[in-house]
Structure 1
Amino acid sequence: MACLLIRDVRNNEGVRFDMLVEDGRIARAAAVIDADDGWLVEDGAGALALPGFVEGHTHLDKTHWGMRWYRNAVAPSLPDRIENERRWRATSGHDAGAQSLALARAFLAAGTTRLRTHVDIDTDAGLRHLHGVLATRDTLRERMEMQIVAFPQSGVLKRPGTDTLLADALRAGADLLGGIDPCAIDGDAVQALDLLFGLAERHGVGLDIHLHERSTMGAYSLDLILQRTAALGMQGKVAISHAFCLGDIDVGARDALLARMSELRVAVVTTAPASVAVPSVAACRAAGVTVIGGNDGIRDTWTPYGSPDMLERAMLIGMRNDFRRDDDLEIALDCVTHSAARGCGFANYGLLRGNRADLVLVDAQTPAHAVVARPVRKLVVSAGRIVARNGALV
């Protein structure tokens, strides 16, 4: 791989510099770097340099990205949405491989270089969706680092045999184990969580559990998750996606749970939806809990909304948390950059010497301006390769 010299870019403080990329990593940054023969040279023209974005929670296998418009007429409950999706997938010919690749490529064009996706594993589809997303990961392996969560969308107890399929998924290449609402979906939180944590322990993987349960029910499930995290020594290997209960229980109970989460290094994943109470990003960070930002589903049977633009998601996180100050908007950006990378366990991240060279150039005055304006990505570099210009893949 030829050396890549990117001239005249700005850091968060407005300092202009040149950056040298060698063998896919950041080799040097200095006010001026003289180019050698054979180097590729790009003129940053004073653009703001940001680290490659991190999508911490999406569902690549579900998306209709690029397909004909899906007319959503589904009832509002979670079981209704699950069954509606199952029926549609069975009759539509939906191809998780083709669709996941289309959306992953759109993420890459918008500057996302690391991504965690949940993939449905159930007794109807088996591992079909997983095989499609594994193919997408393989296709993009030199341009995007992708983590796959084996996700039991219908729960682990309601459909006998799901636990066996989850184990098969982990052996087939899934990186983490998912879960969902142990009380509301599975109906037996103790049994469901014992099964999930047992699987995770046997396979040596982390957990990322969807927890939509509200109020005291959600707090009860979260308490059980934290108990098992401590008992099995899984500190730093568990994330709670959504965690809506942290947004609607009383402050004292919330802070007690957050203190335990911080001690156990359990991360919170937020998509900052407008329709429900959400965990306070400020409260999580004050307690020392890592916050990961993500989109959730994007244009699927669940929702017509969503975009593969992580600057847009950072803006929505900021809006949902009433972030107005520039330093607060930088926190929103952190949820889809450094904090997300840390929470997901993506190594060698950030614009420092020796790290993997993942960066995005935008015409913005400051990071806060980038979040609000969401400018076209002038240049996207992933693992030292130029992968997109002006919002389009190259």
Structure 2
Amino acid sequence: MTAGSALLASGMAAAATGSPATPTCEDKGEVNAISSPHYRLQNVRLEEGFEYEGDSVIATRTGLYDLEVNNGALVAIQPVKDRTASALPAFDAGGLLLLPATRDMHIHLDKTFYGGPWQAPRPRKGKTIMDMIAREQTIIPRLLPHSVEHAEAIIRLLQAKGTTVARSHCNIDPVSGLKSLEHLQIALQKHQQDFSCEIVAFPQHGLLHSKVDSLMREAMQMGVQFVGGLDPTNVDGAMEKSLDAMFSIALDTQKGVDIHLHETTPAGIAAIKYMIRTVEQNPQLRGKVTLSHAFALSVMADEELDEVIEGLAKQQFSVASTVPIGKGVMPLPQLTEKGVRVMTGTDSVIDHWSPFGTGSMLEKANLYAQLYGNSDEFGLTRSLAIATGNILPLDASGKRQWPKVNDPAEMILVAASCSAEAVARVPEVQAGFHQGRLVAGGLKKA
């Protein structure tokens, strides 16, 4: 498990090479844009409930519905059999399954190779994180001239894979200064109507090591939502001093925190415990701290793990995990069971850390289901939560809880009979919607 957190998903195709293809449906006589903010989406498949064999869920019932979308919200949902005449523009979903749009809550949009020519990362074997940082210092100047177009390329990839909401870490370092942030914001501004993204100011070369405290504070005044951090012992060489500096910026600017923590040594465990104590002492941080990766949790066990998870839950921490496959298995189900919010993300689609990301959060849900033994109908449906921000069509008892009238129209259409099949088979996204706008794929006119 390394700083890149490479996705290793057996049986899944690895995208992320060369220039992306923009989805188009014109050759099928379909539309790939909806101009009216008020329209009807017909013949949408929604989940209605579970079917049981004894106490076991063995299938999911679905039905066909018409949805009415107005100014980014679902304003009406009715069975197809009750359809009434309407003058609204209408589009045919053709019986495709509607799922919540996915969320990529850990990605680096600012320093990717994606959208340019193929290049694999240089060999990693035997390299420390400090070696990788030194390598990055030579790469960043070559990436900056193309970073806007590359960020846009990944945004289009994410949309094609069903993601409309993201959280991107962005380098704040002595090499790029604030340029990486400025370029990322240019890219996001171009997509403000079709993609939402929080930004984490990320001191990739070490908050203390690279002496970027003042740059980080400047970034906080530029519309950034989170203060980032990185391995306070392995990189900064001073766990408490590094974490105190990170939290000081967050407290002074009233921002959240999202720290990369890869350390699996006792120092990594100590860092998590120190952060829990810091939030206990500063309740204004409660619910505002995310541990990205948090690999130290994978080496804890028994009472120590239970105590730490209890502390994370009490202080309302989140954990952003790429669902890594490695020597240690992250206790993601235990975190969720105890009330810790667990999110997932791409991390690297392709950059100098890793070439294996596909941009698909459905694949992350599939990987989660495989890794934690969720191979039955019920387990597969629950696995979807890690990809959607915990939004699921059916609750644990089988009652439909999404979509409801007045919900945001953040949704995707896939060729699957139910969410369990979507997680197990990872179908292509046929259409994606952000705030009611069709942002990927296409539909036929009804």
Q: Distance in 2 between matches of 1:318 and 1:61?
A: 30
Q: Which residue of 2 aligns with 1:357?
A: 409
* Structure 1 runs of 4+ with >6 Å offset: none
Which residue identity is paired with 2:102?
Answer: F
**Aligned residue runs from structure 1 range 32-111, under 5 A:** 32-37=82-87, 39-75=88-124, 76-91=127-142, 94-111=145-162
- CA deviation map 1:335-391 (0-9, x unaligned): 0103389xxxxxxx9633222211101110111211122212122111111112259
More moved, 88-97 vs 259-268:
88-97
Structure 1, unpaired ranges of 5+:
342-348
SS of structure 2 residue aligned to 1:193: helix
Question: 1:377, 1:390 within 8 Å by CA — same for their partners in 2?
Answer: no
CA positional deviation for 1:40: 2.1
Please identify which structure carries the higher helix content: 1
How high is the sequence identity, in percent, across the aligned residues? 28
One-letter amino acid of the structure 2 residue matched with residue 83 of structure 1 = A
Aligned-partner Cα distance in 2 for 1:92–1:237: 31
Change (3 A) 1:362 1:92: closer
1:7 pairs with 42, 48, 73, which one? 42
Q: Residues 91-139 of structure 1, C-alpha deviation per residue, up to 9 Å, x if partnerless?
A: 4555221111110111112211111110111111101111111111111
Distance 1:218 1:118 in 2: 21
How far the C-alpha of 1:288 sits from its partner, in A, is 1.4
For residues 86 and 327 of structure 1, the distance between their equivalents in structure 2, rounded to whole angstroms, comes to 47
Which amino acid is the alignment partner of residue 351 of structure 1? Answer: P
Q: Aligned Cα RMSD in Å? A: 1.9
Q: Measured at CA, do residues 152 and 310 of structure 1 come closer, stay the same or move farther in structure 2, by a change above 3 Å?
A: same
Distance 1:34 1:77, change over 3 A: farther
Aligned to 2:301: 250
Query: Separation in 1 of the partners of 2:141 and 2:402?
Result: 42
Query: Aligned-pair distance for 1:215?
Result: 4.3
Contact 1:55 1:116 in 2 (8 A): yes
Which of 375, 387, 390 does residue 427 from structure 2 map onto? 375
Q: Distance in 1 between matches of 2:292 and 2:107?
A: 11
* 8 A Cα contact 1:134 1:173, kept in partner: no
Letter in 1 for 2:43: D
SS in 2 for 1:302: coil
Q: Which residue of structure 1 lines up, in the alignment, with residue 289 of structure 2?
A: 238
**Alpha-carbon distance in structure 1 between the residues aligned to 2:324 and 2:425:** 20
How many residue pairs are counted as aligned between the two chains? Answer: 382
For each residue in 1:284-316, what CA deviation from the matched residue of structure 2 results, as whole angstroms up to 9, or x when unmatched? 112111110111111100001101121112212
Where does the alignment leave 5 or more consecutive residues of structure 2 unmatched?
A: 1-35, 49-61, 393-400
Q: Distance in 2 between matches of 1:93 and 1:166?
A: 19
**Does residue 223 of structure 1 match 2:258?**
no
Larger radius of gyration: 2
- Provide Cα deviations, 1:174-196, integer angstroms capped at 9, x if missing partner: 11111111111111111111111
Q: Aligned runs of 1:270-309 on 2, under 5 Å?
A: 270-309=321-360
Counterpart secondary structure, 1:306: coil
Alpha-carbon distance between aligned partners in 2 of 1:147 and 1:352, rounded to the nearest angstrom: 26
Which residue is equivalent to 1:172? 222
Is 1:214 aligned to residue 264 of structure 2?
yes
Q: 1:182 maps to which residue?
A: 232
Residue type of the partner of 2:109?
L
1:175 partner amino acid: Q
AA of the residue aligned to 2:239? A
Q: Per the alignment, do residues 183 and 331 of structure 1 end up closer, same or farther by CA in structure 2, a change over 3 Å counting? A: farther
Query: Does structure 2 conserve the Cα–Cα contact (< 8 Å) formed by 1:292 and 1:340?
Result: no
SS in 1 for 2:335: helix
For 2:391 and 2:253, locate their aligned partners in 1 and report how far apart those are by CA, in whole Å: 24
Distance in 2 separating the partners of 1:94 and 1:300? 15
Q: State which drifts further: 275-284 or 297-306.
A: 275-284
Could you tell me how far apart the structure 1 residues matched to 2:151 and 2:131 are?
A: 24
TM-score normalized by the length of structure 2: 0.82
Deviation by residue 1:228-270 (Cα, 9 ceiling, x = unmatched): 1121111111110111111111222111111111111101111
Cα separation, 2, equivalents of 1:276 and 1:136: 37
Q: CA deviation at 1:24?
A: 1.1
In the aligned structure 1, how far is the partner of 2:440 from the partner of 2:270? 45
2:189 pairs, out of 135, 138, 141, with: 138
